[in-house]
Structure 1
Amino acid sequence: MPTAKLVFVVDDNPSMLRGIGRLLRQCGFASRLFETGSALLKHGSFDSAVCLILDVNLSDGSGIELRHRLADQGIAIPVIYITGNDNPATRMAAMTSGCVAYLTKPFTANSLIQPIERLLAGVV
């Protein structure tokens, strides 16, 4: 049996986190769920993940700043940002940070899964 592709998810809303985890499972992906950016950083190993779904506004800081911290540590992982508080400045900061997708909550299952599938196909 093939191994499911692993996706990391960081969101401080437990129900959103569980929902995304469930969606990923239904679409054939494995997931590792984190409620804070600190928990993600403590995890330490990023090589196995195909991408990171990252909430822009976390209880312990900015998801965009977390993305920059990862990059500063030499961790190159594709990021899909999700946010419930969209505004032009945040959108520009997210896009400038090098994300593969920027989604506003609520988003469709398809809009979340398609960027992951494009990554796996080498299209992004």
Structure 2
Amino acid sequence: MSAASVISVLDDDPYVREAINNLLRSRGYMVHTFASAEEFLSSSDSKRTSCIVADMHMPSKTGIDLLTQMRAQGSATPFILITGFPDETLHIRALEAGAICCLRKPFVPADLMKCLQWALAAADDVTE
């Protein structure tokens, strides 16, 4: 993990945002939380994030919508998508859109940390 790793957490559920925030901060990451994709996109933090952890089912713009939009704009920022509504078709769509991992809520913290390690390693490979 790079000391400069900034993780952006997007979820419309404040309890989920806080739980992920607490987990990642306890592991030494800098974390920014957002209640929506629009809030994230309008933030200056959107340009400085090392990885995005986003809910697949947010009002207005879903995590997959955000991932697709950012890829279309040339962003290679790694994505981890999470959902409380497991759907194999959606899971496949997320991976095809470029997500590193898709986790079902509630997930085991170790699974998120493993996905985050993969995501940051993939980001390091892109920048080298």
Unpaired runs of 5+ in structure 2?
A: none
Write the mapping of 1:7-86 to structure 2, written as runs, cut at 5 A. Answer: 7-86=7-86
Partner Cα distance (1:121, 1:36) in 2: 26
TM-score (norm 2): 0.86
Structure 2 counterpart of 1:90, one-letter code: L
Structure with the higher fraction of residues in strand conformation: 1
Contact 1:46 1:77 in 2 (8 A): no
Which consecutive unaligned segments of at least 5 residues does structure 1 have?
none
Partners in 1 of 2:78 and 2:44 — Cα distance?
Answer: 16
Deviation per residue, 1:66-95 (Å, 9 max, x gap): 111111122221000000001121111111
Q: CA RMSD in A?
A: 2.0
Q: Is the 8 A contact 1:83 1:105 kept in 2?
A: yes
Q: 1:7 Cα shift? A: 0.3
Q: Classify 1:75/1:108 alpha carbon distance in 2 versus 1 (closer, same or farther; 3 Å).
A: same
Aligned length: 123
**SS of the counterpart of 2:98?**
coil
Residue aligned with 1:91, SS:
helix
Do the aligned partners of 1:10 and 1:17 also contact (CA within 8 Å) in 2?
yes
Distance 1:32 1:45, change over 3 A: closer
Q: For 2:77 and 2:36, locate their aligned partners in 1 and report how far apart those are by CA, in whole Å.
A: 17
Bigger proportion of residues as helix: 2
Q: 1:102 maps to which residue? A: 102
Identity of aligned residues (%): 28
